[in-house]
């Protein structure tokens, strides 16, 4: 999914949920969402091959990546946004991967073939 699509979906969810931080400071929250998406997808744009794009997800599309982004952006934006940052990162990863994995899960040689078989729709637009 493109970063702009992630942003639209995440904002729509925050609006639907009545997220107080989004209601109070929409521009700040939208900037945070953009930074979350950029951090998660960094480097994938340079690849045209779908398999190479998927391999880029190994870098941050997991529990440890979500935690790292949450920690980094909480330092930048403040503790008040910590849960929102984590939610945005989690929603992005679930959109892309269909779930949340651990970093070590990607090391299993059967991970990607099994993932592709279970996620044909998601894999088609990588």
What does the pLDDT look like over 35-79, one tens digit per residue? 999 999 887 767 778 788 888 899 999 999 999 999 999 999 999
Phi, psi of 89 (to 5 degrees): -65, -40
Write the pLDDT tens digit of every residue in 67-123. 999 999 999 999 999 999 999 999 999 999 999 999 999 999 999 999 998 887 666
């Amino acid at each position: 999914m493109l970063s702009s699509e992630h942003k639209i979906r995440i904002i729509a969810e925050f609006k639907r949920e009545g997220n107080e931080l989004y209601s109070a400071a929409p521009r700040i929250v939208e900037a945070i969402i953009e930074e979350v998406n950029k951090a998660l997808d960094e480097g994938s744009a340079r690849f045209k091959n779908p398999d190479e794009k998927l391999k880029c997800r190994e870098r941050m599309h997991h529990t440890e990546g979500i935690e790292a982004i949450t920690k980094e952006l909480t330092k930048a934006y403040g503790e008040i946004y910590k849960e929102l940052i984590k939610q945005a990162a989690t929603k992005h990863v679930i959109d892309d991967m269909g779930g949340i994995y651990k970093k070590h899960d990607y090391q299993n040689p059967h991970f990607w073939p099994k993932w592709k078989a279970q996620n044909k729709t998601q894999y088609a637009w990588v």
